Structure 1
Amino acid sequence: SNYGIQNNFAGASTTKVLTASAYLHDIENNKYKLTSDGKNQLRLMLNKSDNTAWDILNKKVGYKNMVTYARSIGLNSYDWKNNIITAGDEALLLQKLYQRELLSEYHTNLILGHMQDTNNESMIPKIIPEGATIWHKYGQLEDRLHDAAIINYQDRPIVIVVYTKGGASDGSNYTPRVKLVQDLAKTIINSIYQIN
């Protein structure tokens, strides 16, 4: 289900998952080989949110090819020029990734592995129930703060994507925005998994 505003947002770093998927899709289609340097760029981009690695992989895939790939998997809102996407399309990307609809098991696990113990665990990872597993990618850009997560608890995987925008663009509203993302995600988790 989608709640709130369904408009396009600047995806910030959450769309690094799309870059990773497009890059590995090209590898699976023999456009190029996955080198140790390519693996390292994936790790830096997803796990450390490194923008230099992101730029390298975006250029490798090609921006027009990125849009073509996004459309081919149903992400109709994605626009590479301003890194625009809806929360619903980001959720669809994570759902298809987790369900192994996009990539081989090996390449899926490569992405998911880099989406754990990341450089920012302050939002959705902080509020998941004990025993749950999470894979996520946060995004922060000026007055935008996002978290996009796959959570598996009680053998019931769900995807939660929270995109926020507003307030000071200098990052001074970071702490209250983190709490907002946590509160929204916790409400969803408690409702779906019937946690009191």
Structure 2
Amino acid sequence: MTTSDLLAHSVGLTPEPYSQSYATELHKRLSSEQFDPNNRVFQTHTETNTTTPNEMNQIYERLLAGELLSPSSTSIALDILSRQHLNRRIPRYLPKSVQVLHKTGSLADHLNDAGIIRIDDHNTLIVSIFSRGHASTEAGEDDIAHIANRAVQIILNQSSHTIV
């Protein structure tokens, strides 16, 4: 199943080949958040195509350790993560000297951000924050940003190491 198929299902459409009318309807439903709450992307059981924060942390830990990809592919993946432009979550309240390599995710009231926070040469934090049910997107992003900032402050008050 493709990402396009999952998006179509999430708003109650049957996936079909691209056409202007289909794309317009999909965009309209996504923009107005006409989501199907019974769709599998909104289910809480783990048999669907989902991951947990702990699993995301393990992926990032293995990526940093060079256990997932070739060295050149690892460098490319980390570079892509470092260029994330949606920075209102994990990086929002962090000092500019802190490097954040992350991937955000959003669907309906679900707001997520997961990644690697390189605090300095001796401290790296891997964090995954998955949330839902915020009063607004802005409030959810602010909560994620505050959690990440607090975690970094705790690390800065401890010895040098990687914490997952």
What is the TM-score when the length of structure 1 is the normalising length? 0.53
Q: Measure how far apart 1:128 and its partner are.
A: 2.3
- 2:64 is aligned to 98
Match of 2:140, as an amino acid? R
Structure 2 residue 107 is matched with structure 1 residue 107: no
Match of 2:126, as an amino acid? V
Bigger CA radius of gyration? 2
- 2:14 is aligned to none
| Residues in 2 aligned to 1:129 and 1:119: alpha-carbon distance in whole angstroms | 16
- 1:85 is aligned to 51
Match of 2:51, as an amino acid? I
Identity of aligned residues (%): 24
User: What per-residue deviation string (whole Å, max 9, x for no partner) do you get for residues 42-82 of structure 1?
Assistant: xxxxxxxxxxxxxxxxxxxxxxxxxxxxxxxxxxx975xx3
Contact 2:86/2:104 (8 A) holds in 1:
yes
- 1:9 is aligned to none
Q: How many residues align?
A: 114
Q: Measure how far apart 1:119 and its partner are.
A: 3.5
| Residues in 2 aligned to 1:84 and 1:166: alpha-carbon distance in whole angstroms | 18
- Coordinate RMSD, CA, aligned: 2.2
- 1:128 is aligned to 94
Displacement over 6 Å in runs of 4+: none
- 1:57 is aligned to none
- 1:180 is aligned to 143
| Residues in 1 aligned to 2:49 and 2:95: alpha-carbon distance in whole angstroms | 32
**SS at structure 2 position matched to 1:125:** coil
Change (3 A) 1:119 1:130: closer
Extract unaligned runs of 5+ from structure 1.
1-11, 13-76
| Residues in 1 aligned to 2:115 and 2:75: alpha-carbon distance in whole angstroms | 15
Query: Of the candidates 162, 167, 170, which is equivalent to residue 129 of structure 2?
Result: 162
| Residues in 2 aligned to 1:101 and 1:127: alpha-carbon distance in whole angstroms | 31
Match of 2:155, as an amino acid? I
Structure richer in helix, relative to its length: 1
- 1:146 is aligned to 112
What is the TM-score when the length of structure 2 is the normalising length? 0.63
Extract unaligned runs of 5+ from structure 2.
4-44, 159-164
